[in-house]
Amino acid sequence: MKKWRSESVLDLYNVVLAVVLFAAPWLFSLTNGTARMDFWVSGVAVVAISLAAIFAYANWEEWANLLLGLWLIASPWVLGFSQARAIHFAIGIGVLMAFLALLELWLMYEKAHPIESSATPRHQQWFAETIASSEYGRNR
């Protein structure tokens, strides 16, 4: 097991979301069999991938979580959910999972590609360069 990464907390959040997703058919009395199966399978997959990312991080695990989040967003239409609660829940959990995966990928990218001056964050440096090269920056 590797040393704890501060970004691993995002994987813990994904585990919590996946447990809620797995329990959703009971929590919300979902009767749609397709939605129940989708929530159970997706929940188990996210738990497995997120735990793997906690213990042995690799970028592909976050990409897989991103794809599972996008799948949850699309699954109500692909699988034809009939309950509005199931549709809303799948979209909400999918958006949160996709956001957490993208956030972790971005944080790991920033960690792997540090800028020369640690005093200025990358987005501020980009903004300053953009302003300097624009018409506004040349007139100052």
Q: How many structural domains comprise the chain? A: 1
- Answer yes or no: is 123 within a domain: no
- Which pLDDT does position 11 carry in this prediction? 83
- From the centroid of its chain, how far is CA 112? 19
d(CA 25, CA 27): 6
- Answer yes or no: is 124 within a domain: no
Residue located via tokens 């302003």? 131
Query: Contact, 107 vs 14, CB < 8 A?
Result: no
Dihedral sign of CA atoms 23, 28, 29, 35 in order: negative
What the block records as the tokens of 27 is 């929590």
- Answer yes or no: is 19 within a domain: yes
Query: Contact, 69 vs 43, CB < 8 A?
Result: no
Burial of 43: CB neighbours in 10 Å, binned 0-12, 13-18, 19+: buried
Helices (H), 30-121: 33-55, 59-79, 84-112
Identify the domain containing residue 47 by its residue range.
8-115
- Answer yes or no: is 97 within a domain: yes
- Answer yes or no: is 128 within a domain: no
User: pLDDT 10s digit of each residue in the chain, 140 long?
Assistant: 556 566 778 888 989 999 999 998 888 787 778 888 888 999 999 999 888 887 877 778 889 999 999 999 999 999 888 888 888 989 999 999 999 999 888 888 887 777 765 555 666 667 677 777 766 555 55
- Which pLDDT does position 117 carry in this prediction? 55
- Which pLDDT does position 114 carry in this prediction? 73
Write down the pTM of the prediction: 0.73
- Answer yes or no: is 14 within a domain: yes
- Answer yes or no: is 137 within a domain: no
